[in-house]
Chains A and B, each alone.
Chain A
Amino acid sequence: MNTMTTITESATGIDTRALRRNMITLVRRLALYAALIGFAAFFLMPLVVMVFASFKDMDAIAHTSILSFPTHPTVQPWVDAWSSACVGTSCVGLRGFYWNTILMVVPAVVISSLIGAVNGYALSKFSFRGANLVYGLILFGTFAPYQVMLIPIAKMLALFGLSNGIGGLILLHTLYGLPMTTMFFRNYFMTVPQDLIKAAQVDGAGFWTTFLLIILPMSTPMIVVTVIWQFTGIWNDFLFGVSFTSGSSTPIMVALNNLVSTSAGERPYNIHMAGALLSALPTLVVYVLAGKYFVRGLMAGAVKG
């Protein structure tokens, strides 16, 4: 009997201790989630404000809080921003500039990624005397501030007859993308075993055959990373666009700026917000669709396998 009581007592003793431990864990967990949700809400607030505003009419914007949900939602601001808002002097909406930007982004991304891949392949797998020096110089390009080079670039574009046009921007974005794309691919290819290249060599494949049939097919993660990086960088570029294009040939970010700064009387915030969201949409979509690969690709060099 005596022993029985001892056992039950000790058993309940353990239970309460375990219970207390569980409680503490639970409270900690709750605090953690509360903090995380708080931070998330804080960072999402501007986006929420933008989305709400873009669905309100001007009347609602003037008389309701910026955080209030649009009670009579309207898509008119989006329609206006797309097709009829005034960008500078012509009231044509952002539609045409979207097309401009796609015409610029697609070739610039493809060309700079391809050349970067070839560069990285040559630098890592066909190491030559001074390869590291060349790589160092290329890396240096990633640190160069673009502002310093605006005037030389202007001269150069004029010389090539590429001023004020998408062609000039494609060239610029390709050139200035190369340091980054080269670095991405070079570092990725450093993890590819040299024996693969040797095996291909013995099998009779040359520089390009090896690149196209063996190296490129195994580079999908790095291609995705590079394409996302280049796409967002070039899509979001403002400096080159505003410096070397004007009027109807500007890319979207410059057009957005012009749309927002064109003001006669009351500022149509709802159209501005819709325009800003429209401009940011492609990069958002790219991140949502390929973000998984992006993180995976960035980690590829760091973790073996």
Chain B
Amino acid sequence: MASLNIRNVEKHYGDLRTLKGVNIDVDDGEFLVLLGPSGCGKSTLLSAIAGLAPVSSGQIVIDGVVVNDIESAERDIAMVFQSYALYPTMTVRRNLTFGMRVRGASRQQQDEAVKRVAGILQLDQLLDRKPSQLSGGQRQRVAMGRAMVRQPKIFLFDEPLSNLDAKLRTDMRAEIKKLHQREKTTTVYVTHDQIEAMTLATKIVVMQGGEVQQIGSPQTIYEHPENLFVARFIGSPAMNCISGTLKLEGADAVFVGGAQASAGLRVNLGEISAGYRPYVGKNVVLGVRPEWLAHSADITSPELIQAVVDVVEPTGSDNFVILLACGETLMARFAPGVGESGQRVGLAVDLSKALLFDAATEQRIAR
């Protein structure tokens, strides 16, 4: 149980800066997910927290103590690796107790810890097996057990589910969430899978190019991405991002598709807000999530985006529909059965949710 503060952490390899001034605060009991594409620095940051790789500058603080110069073993953290990294020559029991044995814990303490963890993770039947005799999911559980056995201040997970098949991954995801709800141990979890991030996190850190792009709750990140990178990275299918300009028509702010492809696409955003006013006449990007587009049979109204259905991708629960509107490709999420290839439809944008981004800085424009 502990808080974690990352203050201005930088990491350089020669001229290469893999972490650029990272600041993150994690409160006691939080589940923090570091999310980003490969090479964004998230694993480097995790290694730095674990004490497996030193940082070039900045501080890592656990429970108010700067741990930069404290050995990994003394930081009271536990880590679950993507490859599980189980000790191949030891039985499950000895894998679980290795850390305790190295630290000279008594036989009784070891037995109690194994009993507790094996109970939680259903490892009782597997204790005398070697890792090579376990399935992928069982190895994963042993890896987690090894982390839990010492009751550390902080759990670190490095893409723990990416070696599992889809079904098992979903099960283990729920398992991890349950464990966190029960034990409430502060957790830092690295992944490139946004579903994992959204489902597990109490707080997500989106990273790109060694920089923090946004820190926020899953819902905030989804509905109010700070910039175009986050907007495009989060959400599947991705957010529709349409380039154009902002115009003032009477009292209304109107988005007009400006790029050649989207010329003629108009969205009336309603009465102009103070936030939008400075951007009148400037290049902006309109961001609309697929489910913020509503289907309408009205194919004449100038208030709606007139579009033609190109491809329909039914998923059972939804129909993801690719539409062409004024040369722009849009993705919409309709109810099952709605939409048919070649059909003309009107699209209404949910104006309470649609976002505007500054095309120059790629930052979101506050209303």
Complex alpha-carbon distance, A198 and B143, angstroms? 13
Task: Determine whether B79 belongs to the interface, using a CB cutoff of 8 Å to chain A.
Answer: yes
**Contact pick for B89, options A201, A209, A218, CB 8 Å:** A218
Q: Restricting to A234-277, which residues have a CB under 8 Å from any CB of B?
A: none
* Chain A residues with CB under 8 A of B103: 204
Query: Would you call A193 and B83 a contact (CB within 8 A)?
Result: yes
* Chain A residues with CB under 8 A of B79: 198-199, 202
Task: Determine whether B88 belongs to the interface, using a CB cutoff of 8 Å to chain A.
Answer: yes
Query: Would you call B98 and A193 a contact (CB within 8 A)?
Result: no
Task: Determine whether B197 belongs to the interface, using a CB cutoff of 8 Å to chain A.
Answer: no
Q: What are the interface flags for A196-216 relative to B under an 8 Å C-beta threshold, 1 for contact and 0 otherwise? A: 101111111100010001100
Complex alpha-carbon distance, A197 and B83, angstroms? 12
Interface of B is mostly: loop
Complex alpha-carbon distance, A185 and B104, angstroms? 30
Query: Would you call B50 and A202 a contact (CB within 8 A)?
Result: yes
Interface 9-residue window, one of B58-66, B70-78, B172-180, B358-366: B70-78
Given A202-B77, A205-B102, answer yes or no on A214-B85 (Cβ-Cβ < 8 Å). Answer: no
Min CB distance A194 to B, Å, is 9
Complex alpha-carbon distance, A196 and B89, angstroms? 12
Query: Would you call A202 and B72 a contact (CB within 8 A)?
Result: yes
B contact residues, total (Cβ < 8 Å): 22
Given A201-B52, A218-B88, answer yes or no on A195-B82 (Cβ-Cβ < 8 Å). Answer: yes
Complex alpha-carbon distance, A287 and B240, angstroms? 69
Query: Would you call A205 and B98 a contact (CB within 8 A)?
Result: yes
* Chain B residues with CB under 8 A of A199: 79, 81, 85-87, 146
Task: Determine whether B99 belongs to the interface, using a CB cutoff of 8 Å to chain A.
Answer: yes
Q: What are the interface flags for A142-179 relative to B under an 8 Å C-beta threshold, 1 for contact and 0 otherwise? A: 00000000000000000000000000000000000000
Query: Would you call A201 and B83 a contact (CB within 8 A)?
Result: no
Chain B residue nearest to A199 (CB atoms) is: B85
Complex alpha-carbon distance, A203 and B75, angstroms? 10
Query: Would you call B89 and A203 a contact (CB within 8 A)?
Result: no
Min CB distance B303 to A, Å, is 57
Task: Determine whether A130 belongs to the interface, using a CB cutoff of 8 Å to chain B.
Answer: no
Given A195-B82, A202-B52, A209-B102, answer yes or no on A217-B89 (Cβ-Cβ < 8 Å). Answer: yes
Complex alpha-carbon distance, A103 and B238, angstroms? 73
Complex alpha-carbon distance, A277 and B353, angstroms? 90
* Chain A residues with CB under 8 A of B73: 201-205
Min CB distance A19 to B, Å, is 48
Which 10 A-B pairs give the minimum distances between C-beta atoms? A204-B73, A203-B99, A195-B85, A199-B85, A217-B89, A195-B81, A204-B102, A195-B83, A202-B79, A205-B102
Can you sample 7 A-B contacts with CB below 8 Å?
A195-B81, A195-B82, A196-B87, A198-B52, A202-B77, A202-B79, A204-B73
Could you list 7 further interchain pairs (A-B, Cβ under 8 angstroms) beyond the known A199-B79, A199-B81, A201-B72? A195-B81, A200-B98, A201-B51, A201-B73, A202-B51, A214-B89, A218-B89
